[in-house]
Structure 1
Amino acid sequence: MSTPDLIFTGGPVITVDPDRPVASAVAVTGDRIIAVGGEEVLATRGSGTEVVDLGGHCLMPGFVEAHTHPTQDQMLYSDTVIDIRPVTTCPTADQAHATITRTVANAPAGRPLIFYGVDVLLQTGFPEPTREWLDELGPDRPIIVWQNSGHLAWANSAALTMAGLDADTPDPVGGSFERDAHGRPTGKVYEAPAVLAVVAPILAGELSGPQLLARQHADLAARGVTLCSDMAFSDQMRPLTAELYRQGAAKVRMRVYEMSSVDGVTYCPLSNGDDMFRQVGIKLWVDGSPWIGNIDISFPYLNTPATAALGLGHDHRGHSNYTEEQLFSIVRAYYPLGWQMACHVHGDNGVDMILDVYDEVLGQYPRPDHRLRLEHCGAMTSAQFERAARLGITCSLFVDHLYYWGDVLVDDLFGPEHGAHWVRARSALDAGMRISFHNDSPVTEEEPMRNIAAAVTRTSRSGRVLAPEERISIDQALRAQTIDAAYQLFADDITGSLTPGKYADLVVLEHDPRVVPAEDLADVAVLTTYLNGVRTFPG
């Protein structure tokens, strides 16, 4: 073994490698881990070796965020987009409303404004931001209020004009423009294809270079993340991301998923990129968001003041955004070419639909290592996890829902039978599936340790425990945030565990999460992050 450049020692080491579960030292040469062990590793140090004393802190693989949106998240650093999310800056309706009115009053004349993150379930009492209200606020500037899930937005007349939307504009496949009795758009738009139609013209000028994405990468590194996805990547982002990596300003590896189209067009060859940046898959959708009422479920929403505030009718049930035939045509257009597919789905009816599609395509085009994915999986049942596991499908769970919306799920939307059993992590593992956790940022901020805490405790912000039988162990939760998430991104061969030969993608935590009381897991701080053996945080 060559003389290492770095040796980490002096604290607990979590390898997430079953072949080397016990270690007290890790050696790095260049960008790779070359040894994991104990005294024999320390014996290899030379005169040029830097010994990093952990000081009792914990070393482990860098966190992997398997489902996020950094090329969307970067918008929050622009002057045009204002953060009004209930989980960050505006916990109450009054705070969100005041931020909107104050910002409009103080913004330079004519500047477009996008207010991201309103959520009437958490910001109780926030009035629906109608086009008429937004026109009154800013008659001479485009204004958009974007719901926190990303699946719904409201635009004023100036924003509709800027986007070129009128009564003759057809609904895009998978999305819709709400219309009045005369067929004219009301300004309320549903789902990604329609939402992007109104926000993209405003954001285009803001995202012309890599500066904002570089800030987003720095934020990810500060949270211990060394590998992330981009789950709604567009071809327009390729020059920007390419420049970020060319400049050496990237602090996180990226694996991106291009948004699917009904005609099956992709702008990227299957063989592309490198270990830092690569497109690995195609993203598609079955349904929408539980927070706006359009997930495809077999059971009704509750009839509560909260569902009334959402505008849902009596015993409302959601729906899919695509027919099974449309989903099949999308998957069949991409999957036989070799692409991995990652499908957004929450409702149990929707899960059945996409499992039927996956099952049929797998039968027609067998592939031994397809790693087909399902995303979020809120109302997915134990039996559905078992079926998915038999097909070799892997799921990424939005476990943070339990913490922020746990009480809402039970009391306001679905009741204890369905709400408390949201994101059944234990059922997935018992079925033999490899799972990951995610924050779907910007829906919630990147919080790997809170994800781990939510999966281990299943405790909401009020302290309520939801379906304790679906709890998992700390070791299982750590895998879901590291090696198993890397597996979903086809990167487990290069990162996700402290294994000789893999890249030195590391995070130093304040405490060893294996010995921290479960109720304190979310507060374990990230002290240092390394990518390729180079410190990325603190920068």
Structure 2
Amino acid sequence: MTSADIIFTGGAVLTADRKRPTAEAVAVAGDRILAIGTTAEVLAHQGPKSRMIDLRRGCLMPGFVEAHGHPVLDGIVRSGAMIDIRPVTAPTAADVLDRIKRELVSDDDRVAHFFGWDPLLQEGLGTPEKAWMDEMAPDRPFIITHNSGHAVYFNTAAARVAGVSSATEDPTGGSFGRDGDGELTGVAYESAGWRLRALTAHRPDELIPVLATEFAALSAAGVTTISDIGFDPAHRPAFDQAARNGVLTARVRMYEKAGPALRSEVPLDNGDDLVKQIGIKIWCDGSPWVGNIATSFPYLNTPQTTAMGLGCDHRGHPNYTPEQLREISEAYFAAGWQLACHVHGDEGVDMVLDVWEELLGRQPRPDHRLRLEHCGTMTAEQYARAARIGATCSLFVDHLHYWGDVLVDGLFGPERGARWAAAGSAVRAGLRISLHNDPPVTPEEPLRNIAVATTRQSSSGRVLAPEERLTVDQAIRAQTIDPAWQLFCDDQVGSLEPGKYADLVVLSADPHRVPPREIAGLEVRATFLGGRQVHGEVL
């Protein structure tokens, strides 16, 4: 009988495997799970060199899977190359303005790029105006990226360095703000903003310490697999080098940004179980916090929508025409790629489903796992339609924690705002869903996702559409095996089964044994990637 390198006993074991949902002990040999079962069954694999780990009444689970992340961008924000003004680190308008002023009075002539502006949570802020940005930094390039990432504000100096002028054409899927005379107003939406954000781009060798910082944070949150969704292929050499150097402490699945060439230079067969590109990311609409999600109903007329700069009865619109979305989807799907489409508004969801249903009728592919991302105002009927065509959804439930009250009172009212990210409807429709944090928009916090999905509580304690709650088991699946399925790696990770990678997280308690809201506060005692401990105390 094969001897184990590690044996875990003395606590709860949650497998996320429906055939055997719980166990008493787990054995690991090399980078794989060797055995799962009763303590007696697993101890049969104990050898003279087996490392025995007592869980101390804690809980062993599959490592968490982040199906919709941006590890490069999050790492750049963490590293300070973009100055962090997110609400989670700068909660008030005074905090934000103080950080901006302190940076701009320095003698540094590099691009001053701030990430995280959010008038909805940082009350007192409005929309950054170009005249103010020019006054604050007459000669230094000055950029502010909205906390959603869907709007970039810039001064005249930044436009000059980026080569952006009133003559610059809007790219497909994006636009520059212009006044009545066609002059730039200092804001770029969606893909137009990429040109400004590129001013703080890193060389591959400069990204290695950024990735080291980011992946340490992911391990601390118990994450062992993450997607980079909206991936820049120029970053691939950095990931490959980081993998060789042992810097990557989580597996990475990449979704390249859809580009104007409508093709990827990366072959479908690329990478390995640690780093691999698997899909293409497209954006049907934008962010609720910017005002450009495609809904069949208007925003409310409130102080919050005024602070966002929205007019009376404002409605957003899609980034693409149906013809553009059809062209992009067809080109990449025909080349064999999985598609992941960002969409919040119900009108946008209908557009995506119309295009994809037509696409699948002409180019049928079993088990395509086409993905809808975020799905803020998606309805029960639309979830059922997605299930019929075999699509899947990744939901941003953490919005409810941070913006739940704003969604109801400031943006969409109790009927639509409270039902945001309707996970219960999605599961009842038969969909396999994932929960995500979209870092750096919100911090990587899978345990809070599970807590929010099971309580539907905002940070104030307000309960939003309790009929859309998940059970603890459903929420755990949406943070482990089901996102692994979405990432086409459920045969390798996402559940504790013999033969799968020993990607594990040790929690201070079984999430079933604490009140649901307290799940967010459980401690991540240790994280293992392929049997190697990458975070936590020595157990």
Tell me if TM exceeds 0.5.
Answer: yes
How far apart are residue 180 of structure 1 and its match? 2.9
**What do residues 509-538 of structure 1 show as CA deviations (whole Å, max 9, x unaligned)?**
011101111121111111100000000103
Matches of 2:315 and 2:154, distance apart in 1: 26
Q: Which aligned pairs between 1:224-263 and structure 2 lie closer than 5 A?
A: 224-263=222-261
1:152 aligns with 2:151: yes
Which residue in 1 is equivalent to 2:96?
96
Conserved 8 A contact 1:75-1:203? no
Matches of 2:319 and 2:213, distance apart in 1: 34
How far apart are residue 128 of structure 1 and its match? 2.5
Which residue in 2 is equivalent to 1:41?
42
Matches of 2:6 and 2:200, distance apart in 1: 46
TM-score by length of 2: 0.98
Matches of 1:296 and 1:135, distance apart in 2: 32
How far apart are residue 456 of structure 1 and its match? 0.1
Amino acid at match of 1:110: D
Amino acid at match of 1:47: P
1:17 aligns with 2:17: yes
Matches of 2:254 and 2:24, distance apart in 1: 35
How far apart are residue 137 of structure 1 and its match? 1.5
Deviates further, 319-328 or 235-244: 235-244
Amino acid at match of 2:25: A
Which residue in 2 is equivalent to 1:330?
328
3-state SS of 2:421 partner: coil
Amino acid at match of 2:24: S
3-state SS of 1:514 partner: helix
Conserved 8 A contact 1:68-1:228? yes
**What do residues 187-235 of structure 1 show as CA deviations (whole Å, max 9, x unaligned)?**
21111x2111011022235973311112101110110000000001011
How far apart are residue 169 of structure 1 and its match? 1.1
Matches of 1:130 and 1:73, distance apart in 2: 26
Matches of 1:405 and 1:174, distance apart in 2: 26
Amino acid at match of 2:370: L
How far apart are residue 103 of structure 1 and its match? 2.0
Deviates further, 129-138 or 116-125: 129-138
Amino acid at match of 1:46: G
Which residue in 2 is equivalent to 1:400?
398
Matches of 1:338 and 1:110, distance apart in 2: 45
1:353 aligns with 2:354: no
Structure 1: runs of 5 or more not aligned: none
Deviates further, 199-208 or 218-227: 199-208
Conserved 8 A contact 1:167-1:184? yes
Matches of 2:276 and 2:86, distance apart in 1: 30
Matches of 1:476 and 1:320, distance apart in 2: 32
Conserved 8 A contact 1:75-1:207? no
**What do residues 343-400 of structure 1 show as CA deviations (whole Å, max 9, x unaligned)?**
0000000000000111011111111110000000000000000000011111000000
How far apart are residue 490 of structure 1 and its match? 0.3
Conserved 8 A contact 2:127-2:309? no
Matches of 1:362 and 1:24, distance apart in 2: 44
How far apart are residue 267 of structure 1 and its match? 1.6
Matches of 2:48 and 2:377, distance apart in 1: 57
Which residue in 1 is equivalent to 2:337?
339
Which residue in 2 is equivalent to 1:428?
426
Amino acid at match of 1:343: C
How far apart are residue 181 of structure 1 and its match? 3.5
Deviates further, 205-214 or 130-139: 205-214
Which residue in 2 is equivalent to 1:364?
362
Amino acid at match of 1:156: N
**What do residues 73-107 of structure 1 show as CA deviations (whole Å, max 9, x unaligned)?**
11113343111111x211111111111112222x3
Which residue in 2 is equivalent to 1:306?
304
1:413 aligns with 2:411: yes
Which residue in 2 is equivalent to 1:114?
113
Matched-pair identity in %: 56
Q: Which aligned pairs between 1:25-36 and structure 2 lie closer than 5 A?
A: 25-36=25-36
Conserved 8 A contact 1:262-1:326? no
Matches of 1:291 and 1:419, distance apart in 2: 13
Matches of 2:517 and 2:236, distance apart in 1: 41
Conserved 8 A contact 2:126-2:309? no
Conserved 8 A contact 1:458-1:468? yes
Conserved 8 A contact 1:506-1:531? yes
Which residue in 1 is equivalent to 2:181?
182
1:520 aligns with 2:518: yes
Amino acid at match of 1:420: A
Deviates further, 197-206 or 109-118: 197-206
Distance 1:275 1:83, change over 3 A: same
1:222 aligns with 2:223: no
Which residue in 2 is equivalent to 1:72?
73
Conserved 8 A contact 2:204-2:237? no
Matches of 1:467 and 1:56, distance apart in 2: 34
Matches of 2:80 and 2:241, distance apart in 1: 22
**What do residues 292-340 of structure 1 show as CA deviations (whole Å, max 9, x unaligned)?**
1110000111111111111111111110000111011001101122110
Conserved 8 A contact 2:370-2:390? yes
Aligned length: 536
Which residue in 2 is equivalent to 1:166?
165
Matches of 1:475 and 1:80, distance apart in 2: 39
Distance 1:112 1:262, change over 3 A: closer
Deviates further, 368-377 or 42-51: 42-51
**What do residues 266-296 of structure 1 show as CA deviations (whole Å, max 9, x unaligned)?**
1210111110011110000110000011100
3-state SS of 2:22 partner: coil
Matches of 2:524 and 2:131, distance apart in 1: 45
**What do residues 124-170 of structure 1 show as CA deviations (whole Å, max 9, x unaligned)?**
11132222212222222111111000000111111111101112211
3-state SS of 2:140 partner: coil
How far apart are residue 31 of structure 1 and its match? 0.1
Deviates further, 164-173 or 71-80: 71-80
Deviates further, 429-438 or 243-252: 243-252
Amino acid at match of 1:76: V
**RMSD of aligned Cα (Å):** 1.2
Matches of 2:207 and 2:398, distance apart in 1: 31
Matches of 2:126 and 2:379, distance apart in 1: 34
Matches of 1:271 and 1:16, distance apart in 2: 29
3-state SS of 2:12 partner: coil
Amino acid at match of 2:406: V
Matches of 1:42 and 1:399, distance apart in 2: 40
Structure 2: runs of 5 or more not aligned: none
Which residue in 2 is equivalent to 1:484?
482
